[in-house]
Homo-oligomer: A and B are copies of this chain.
């Protein structure tokens, strides 16, 4: 980590540090009242308080020292700055498969601020490579930073950028691609790339972590190693999301990019494959294929379809839902709405007028279920038929999130609503199961 200046420090404390010509990484002696502390100055996060200096002590532990009127700081040495350097690559490296790690941000690329306990974006894929040197024994690694954003700020422009970068890396001879990503919206991005990069000849593995890499329960290293291994050696192609399967570090699971969802705020096994099966599992370091039929690696040239229509909304229905939300989207010129209805795919009668209006205004309308598991079926109840009569398209067992991303993508490919509807109902990468393949559990 190479840090310039004094990021995170503000106000009077910043002035005092500047006067003492102290920078991040420098060894300092801090005297407060009768207490003396020594250690390397650590960076702080932007939004941290402005009255603590954080030092990494010789013991390795960090301490925060409150800034008071009796605060003195003296620079006693320029420390070896905590910059991570990639270890020398092994000689055999050129014969290994080539894997590109593309960093987009998230916890897997973050560190903890020791005063607030907060996490901030800090680490590049290169840093990770330094922390996990065994990666270089697995593959010829090329790590680059594409974005450095918390994943709640990811939008379709980033998806377009990722698709383009993937195409470039494949063109440059990548045998597999790993994308590090914040977990919050990783499932949306895996769906987006599944549609935006077609004829994919190699695996694209998204990977994240739920615990930042300096916590004891960190999952970043195990997840990253599994992702790189699969990117380098797995026989399948396609877009997958790789995370812990359960509480154990021994089992890492690979979810299909369009059928995966974050289902826990903090657990390491947060992600689940819904209405389908994972494609593979890495158990004690060995890759086990789960899916019977998987798309094989090929020498196809990828086709990049990187446009997404931004004027698409995902609307979750609930009792008392006010249809003005639909109306306001129509007025704002939206092109499509995916509903997250109840049960088999329902919304209340109170929405019918607004839905008819949306249809008259040429919006593409799709229906998914907030149940998440199971498939919509709008033929069972009369209310479902009322909706299909109004042009709402049942979207099978697609996840609401995947359906939203897919509709953005369909309307990005064509402005013709009939063609967009055809694309929406075309099964590109197994984003829905046809009825006959559906495994009923009861």
Task: List chain A positions with a Cβ less than 8 A from chain B.
Answer: 45-47, 116-120, 150-156, 182-185, 188-189, 217, 246-247, 262-270, 308, 310-322, 324-325, 328-329, 332, 340-350, 369-377, 379-383, 385-386, 401, 404, 408, 441-442
Say whether, besides A320-B156, A343-B262, A380 and B117 are in contact (CB < 8 Å). Answer: yes
A150 touches B381 (CB 8 A): yes
B263 touches A372 (CB 8 A): yes
With a CB–CB cut-off of 8 A, which chain B residues contact A329? 324-325
Taken together, the copies of this chain in the complex come to 2
With a CB–CB cut-off of 8 A, which chain B residues contact A441? 247, 267
B118 touches A371 (CB 8 A): no
A379 touches B118 (CB 8 A): yes
With a CB–CB cut-off of 8 A, which chain B residues contact A345? 265
With a CB–CB cut-off of 8 A, which chain B residues contact A268? 442
CA distance A256 to B183 in the complex (A): 30
Among B47, B120, B189, B344, the residue within 8 A (CB) of A266 is B344
10 contacts between A and B (CB under 8 A): A119-B381, A153-B383, A184-B344, A189-B319, A262-B342, A264-B374, A265-B344, A265-B373, A313-B321, A324-B328
A318 touches B386 (CB 8 A): no
Say whether, besides A325-B329, A332-B322, A267 and B442 are in contact (CB < 8 Å). Answer: yes
CA distance A324 to B346 in the complex (A): 24
With a CB–CB cut-off of 8 A, which chain B residues contact A379? 116-118
Say whether, besides A120-B382, A265-B375, A346 and B150 are in contact (CB < 8 Å). Answer: yes
With a CB–CB cut-off of 8 A, which chain B residues contact A116? 379
With a CB–CB cut-off of 8 A, which chain B residues contact A155? 319-320, 348, 350
Closest beta carbon of chain B to A52's beta carbon, Å: 16
Q: Besides the contacts A117-B380, A268-B442, what 12 more A-B pairs have beta carbons closer than 8 Å?
A: A120-B382, A152-B317, A154-B319, A189-B319, A246-B442, A263-B371, A265-B344, A265-B369, A265-B371, A312-B320, A313-B325, A320-B408
B152 touches A347 (CB 8 A): yes
B325 touches A382 (CB 8 A): no
With a CB–CB cut-off of 8 A, which chain B residues contact A265? 343-345, 369, 371, 373-377
- For A262, A266, A349, A441, the residue with the greatest tally of chain B CB atoms inside 10 Å of its CB is A266
